[in-house]
Amino acid sequence: METTAFFQSPYDITDEQVEAYRRDGYVRCDNVLTPEEVDALRAALEAAMERRDSFNRDLAGGGDKILQMLNLWEHDPVLKAYATSPRLAGIAQRLTGSEHLHLFHDQALVKKPGPSAASPWHQDQPYWPSKEAGMLSCWMALDDVITDRGAMQFIPGSHLWGEFDPVSFAGDGPQLNDMISDEQRALWNPVVEELPAGSCTWHHGLTFHYTRPNTTDQTRRALVEIYIPDGVTFAADEKMEHPLSDTITSQKGEPLRGTKFLQVA
């Protein structure tokens, strides 16, 4: 397949998957990418990791335990084609019911073998500059992910529990366990989604999720795309700073837009 044809064809997400997303706050989509597309994304990601020319940091506080690299699409045409692809935009439209979608940002989240850390239970929405909930993430496995390599775990239905405070990925602040009610604790039934490379999960910004440290001898490379549906506005000073705060062009209360938030649908 020509590189230019990558990520163009639609993925036929079923009504049952859409229903599951709305009920559980996440959904699994198998075989969204072809093996050739996975290879192209892996090569692009490896090159980006070599260059380190995108915003990058260790989410666990140092030492590449959870390497995060943001807006890789700016430096690579394959990663841009993927982030803005009709395939992902089409799935996001179906899941959210939104006609229009903007890319908030992409991010690689890499857990290498060796010193690694858990991504603590958290929601995404508290870290985002958005007032309303509704933004969602596509978490794509570029390696086969099993529980001990850092497969995503979710609490089904937790997207209906409202917005909690952000937690520290370095584990030095309040953790979610201290914040949830006894009732919520009783409903705390994590589901692990082990995935082959090229399959993904989509999760709502309020859904609690977690991954274990990578204790295997193979790297875990995940590529995450975050989209903004219609109806989400800029919360300005009500929310914490984000690495992309400086690129936001909206005033408080206006639809969340920025110089780098590409329209994808």
Ligand X SMILES: O=C(O)CCC(=O)C(=O)O
Residue 262 CA to chain centroid, in angstroms? 16
Choice between 80 and 122, CB closer to ligand X: 122
CA atoms of 242 and 226, how far apart (whole Å): 14
Query: 198: buried, middle or exposed (CB in 10 Å: 19+, 13-18, 0-12)?
Result: buried
CB of 61 to ligand X, least distance (A): 14
Choice between 87 and 209, CB closer to ligand X: 209
CB of 139 to ligand X, least distance (A): 5
Closest of 112, 105, 127 to residue 238, by C-alpha: 127
Half-sphere exposure of 236 (CA within 13 A, CB side): 8
Choice between 5 and 240, CB closer to ligand X: 240
CB of 167 to ligand X, least distance (A): 11
The answer to whether the CB of 135 falls within 8 A of the CB of 128 is yes
| Binding site residues, ligand X, CB under 6 A | 109, 119, 124, 137, 139, 150, 209, 211, 222, 224
Residue 60 CA to chain centroid, in angstroms? 17
Q: Which helix (H) or strand (E) holds 24?
A: helix 15-24
CA atoms of 127 and 66, how far apart (whole Å): 17
Compute φ and ψ for 73, nearest 5 degrees.
-60, -25
Choice between 98 and 207, CB closer to ligand X: 207
CB of 220 to ligand X, least distance (A): 8
The answer to whether the CB of 155 falls within 8 A of the CB of 203 is no
CB of 21 to ligand X, least distance (A): 15
Choice between 12 and 148, CB closer to ligand X: 148
CB of 224 to ligand X, least distance (A): 4
Choice between 109 and 244, CB closer to ligand X: 109
